[in-house]
Structure 1
Amino acid sequence: MTTQLSVAGIELELFRYPSRQESNLQAWDAADEHLIKHLVDNEQKAVNTAIVNDSFGALTAGLLSIDSGWPLTLETDAKTSLLGTTQNLARNQLNDASLTWVNSRDELPQGIELVLMKLPKNLNYFSHQLKRLSQVLPAGTQVLIGAKAKSINKSLLETIARSLGEASASLTWKKTRVITCIADGKARALPMTTNWSVPECKLQISNLSNVFAASKLDIGARIMLDNMPKGDFKSIVDLGCGNGILGLHAKQCFPEAYIHFIDDSEMSVASARDNWALNKLDNPALVGEQATFAWDDCLTHMSEGFRPDLILCNPPFHQGEAITDHIAWQMFLDAFRRLKNGGILHVVGNRHLAYHVKLQRIFKNCTTVASNGKFVILQAQKISKKAQEPEIEDNHLESPHPQSALYGKPNS
């Protein structure tokens, strides 16, 4: 895995987050390099700049390398982006005093004079982001968007023009192009949430623009809804919750349980929270808050005493445009460490991903609960009789988190 970024006289050491993940993927791409090169070539001055969709801080670190006091506002929907950027700034001894963080729903600050963006995979979300910018950018503000050349077409440029202002693309460099958009100063209304129902579960679902399967129930979740685990569960995690559909149905199945929704996407966590309120699932017989909502990197920052007895998981197999299974590995390893003894991890995934091999290596057991032509539901139980780490020998199974006081050891 390459960790040394070198472009336009700038040298950086960059890692994806967490730094010990075994995905063999870089923390930046050629579009990041192209944007940095564009700024250097055009002798861009350090003006009040917004950076949007900076995966692991390559753009942020690049600008702070040019000018350590460059005033920056960083917008991200991904907690791993925030954590990765912070990690890489520290690694390169770059001061973050000039940074302001906002998520994809926070109010954007006034006075932005330049915007740098990476084109996200989700184009509905991209349109949402452009319309957000249209509400604060004065006419004439330059917005630079880095993307793979193959992703740029007439339709994309028309979307940018409708949402923010006229746009044109540069010549190709390393198979990427920089789109230059000039904001027209006209504020656009933000898109409405997408709403649909799951009649068989009597649930109403509302989704923000960057939520996976925002317009309908995805088929992996559907087979999971039809095959919920059996047991007397009191503490349930919907890990990688998306709009929260699995956790919502778990509350219907186990009305005495407390449900914990966790996702790397802040919009997903917000949608899950809205859907909990929308469906009025609180049990009047229980005391206290019956649902919690965490914007986090898997189970990284849960309290030391947190020990659920069921974790539901529909793992993603991509991060941005990169296809990878390291997120599933992290979810499974975090689940093993966090589950109480006897607790269950209940997973749905595409058959070809072979999650049963991973679960067997970590939990020493794995049962097929249900399957169809495309998906399989697997269940693994934590049955260790003493506190121990899973026996992992292959580098690709190495824990993405170093052992630390945050994790400690599972209860016996």
Structure 2
Amino acid sequence: MPHSVPFSFDDLRRWPDLEGPDLVAVDAADRLILDESEAARAEVPEGGLVVVDDAYGALTLAAAAAGAHGIRVHQDALTGERALEANAARAGLDGTFTSHPLDADLLRDARVVLLRLPRALRALDDIAGLIAAHAHPDVVVFAGGRLKHMTLAMNDVLRAHFDRVDVTHARQKSRVLVARGPHDGADPQPEAATVDGLEVRAFGGVFAGASIDIGTRLLLAHLPDPSDGAIDFACGTGLVAAAWALRHPSVRIVATDRSAAAVASARATAAANDVGDRVEVVRDDLLASRPDASATLIALNPPFHSGGAITEGIAPRMFADAGRVLEPGGELWTVWNSALQYRPALERLVGPTRQVARDRKFTVTVSTRR
């Protein structure tokens, strides 16, 4: 392999994702994956290394700094892709990798795969099946994570697609599963269900799967009619967008999410409900692709996690961007866990806010853009 170049984890940033003192760009699981895979990576030909769900570039850039080139990378979050690009530019490692969708071309003839274990077993099954279907028969998968997020069921999922799964010693509350001997490969297919008259499609790892979570159900029961289009912000499986499009056949809806799996799910949901021609699904960082003062109606069920970290910091950023995109008098309809008390932030970042509905756990509010 080519010679290595200087690289420091200390230079990695999460930007454009949320940053803060307790939000890290690299952790012990990244370091353990790299250490356990070092010998295998040293033997990989150019183009034979694949990295999946590298949060902010630690795995990709450390491998590139050690001499790997032609690295293929898939990151579910668009913010992760952009963080990797920015971190690569600062490290002088541009051109050592390419970003890909989670598809056959990503894994074709891969010899070594570095994987941050997803928390959802269905997401892991999607990834493991894809590796088994398209990687080289001698592929070795180094799948690591933090012990608090790992379960024995992950071993079983990997064994469904690999002959051998070895478990490394734990280090700094992290562990790596090493899988060899791919078999029973399959391309990911969305889970399908019919819920409250809506067809729902969900690829692994998307919030609520092929169901309607109770917060979204409450929001759907109170949403107004979109007169000239609307935005389903952080759309997940795209249920809100599909419901709006079904109720109002003349209206076009935009659905956005930063997650590639969510975008694929929302497109599949729209197609299953025969509204794919009127629902535009966009992978976006917040609403960055939407012009200022361009929308009259936005629906939002904000997440409370950024990557693997639970934080209340992401919702205010979403409120602020919704406020930017709404025209004066436009409305943001939000459902949120009542314990989070988002109303002051909505008042400050969007405009006057009133409660529309509340049950034992969730609150629906409408905020009018000043």
Q: Give the TM-score taking structure 2 as reference length.
A: 0.90
List aligned pairs for 1:324-339, cutoff 5 A.
Answer: 324-339=311-326
CA contact (8 A) 1:105 1:267 kept: no
Match of 2:330 in 1: 343
2:82 corresponds to 1:87: no
Match of 1:144, SS state, is: strand
Post-superposition offset of 1:156: 2.3
AA aligned to 2:235 is C
1:16-72 superposed Cα distances (whole Å, 9 cap, x missing partner): 1316645741112210111223345778345320001101111111112222x5220
1:214 corresponds to which of 194, 209, 221:
209
CA distance in 1, matches of 2:287, 2:51: 27
| Counterpart residue number, 2:310 | 323
Q: What SS does structure 2 have at the residue aligned with 1:73?
A: strand
Q: Check conservation: 1:46, 1:71, Cα contact below 8 A.
A: no
Q: Does 1:189 align with 2:186?
A: yes
Out of 227, 233, 236, the position equivalent to 1:233 is 227
Q: Is the 8 A contact 1:23 1:324 kept in 2?
A: no
Alpha carbons of 1:11 and 1:128: their partners in 2 closer, same or farther (altered >3 Å)?
closer
Could you tell me which amino acid in structure 2 is paired with residue 188 of structure 1? G
Q: Is the 8 A contact 2:292 2:324 kept in 1?
A: no
Tell me the distance in 2 between the aligned counterparts of 1:94 and 1:9: 9
Q: CA distance change for structure 1 residues 23 and 279 in 2, over 3 Å: closer, same or farther?
A: farther
Whether the 8 Å CA contact 2:219–2:364 is kept in 1: the answer is yes
Question: Residues 37 and 235 of structure 1: is their aligned pair in 2 closer, same or farther, counting only changes over 3 Å?
Answer: same
Say yes or no: does 1:257 pair with 2:256: no
Tell me, in whole angstroms, the C-alpha distance in 2 between the residues paired with 1:106 and 1:362: 43
**Stretches of structure 1 lacking an aligned partner (at least 5 in a row):** 1-7, 283-288, 384-412
Deviation string 1:333-391 (CA, Å, 9 cap, x unpaired) is 111111111111100011111111211221242111100110000111112xxxxxxxx
Equivalent-residue separation in structure 2 for 1:369 and 1:22 (angstroms): 33
Tell me the TM-score normalized by structure 1: 0.81
How many residues align? The count is 363
Supply the distance in 2 between the matched residues of 1:265 and 1:351 (Cα, whole angstroms). Answer: 25
Using the TM superposition, name which of 108-117 and 331-340 deviates more: 108-117
d(CA) in 1 for partners of 2:18 and 2:188? 38
The aligned residue for residue 126 of structure 2 is 128
C-alpha separation between the residues in 2 aligned to 1:10 and 1:242? Answer: 35
Question: For 1:377-410, what per-residue CA distance to the aligned partner results, in whole angstroms no more than 9, with x for missing partners?
Answer: 0111112xxxxxxxxxxxxxxxxxxxxxxxxxxx
The verdict on how the C-alpha distance between 1:41 and 1:279 changes in structure 2, with shifts beyond 3 A counting, is closer
Is the Cα–Cα contact under 8 Å of residues 121 and 320 in structure 1 kept in the other structure?
A: no
CA distance in 1, matches of 2:169, 2:78: 33
- CA RMSD for the aligned pairs? 2.4
- After superposition, residues 169-184 of structure 1 pair within 5 angstroms as 169-182=167-180, 184=181
Residue 360 (structure 1) aligned to one of 343, 347, 352: 347
Structure 2 residue aligned with 1:204: 199
Segment of structure 1 superposing worse, 232-241 or 343-352 = 232-241
Distance 2:328 2:338 in 1: 27
Structure 2: segments with no counterpart, 5+ residues = 1-5
Displacement of 1:307: 0.4
Distance 1:43 1:110 in 2: 17
| Residues 12/39 of structure 1: CA separation in 2 closer, same or farther (3 Å cut) | farther
Q: Assess if the C-alpha contact under 8 Å between 2:238 and 2:255 holds in 1.
A: yes
| Aligned counterpart, 2:59 | 59
Q: Distance in 2 between the 1:154 and 1:376 partners?
A: 36
Distance 1:146 1:297 in 2: 26
Q: Does 1:301 find its partner at 2:299?
A: no
Deviation of the 1:279 alpha carbon: 1.9
When residues 334 and 215 of structure 1 are mapped into structure 2, their CA distance, relative to the original with a 3 A threshold, is same
Where in structure 2 are the equivalents of 1:163-174 lying within 5 Å? 163-174=161-172
What CA distance in whole angstroms lies between the structure 2 residues aligned with 1:338 and 1:108? 35
Paired AA for residue 292 in structure 1: E
Which amino acid in 2 is paired with 1:375?
Answer: F
Deviation at 1:165, TM superposition (A): 3.1
After TM superposition, list the pairs within 5 Å mapping 1:264-283 onto structure 2: 264-281=258-275
What SS does the corresponding residue of 1:166 show, helix, strand or coil? Answer: strand
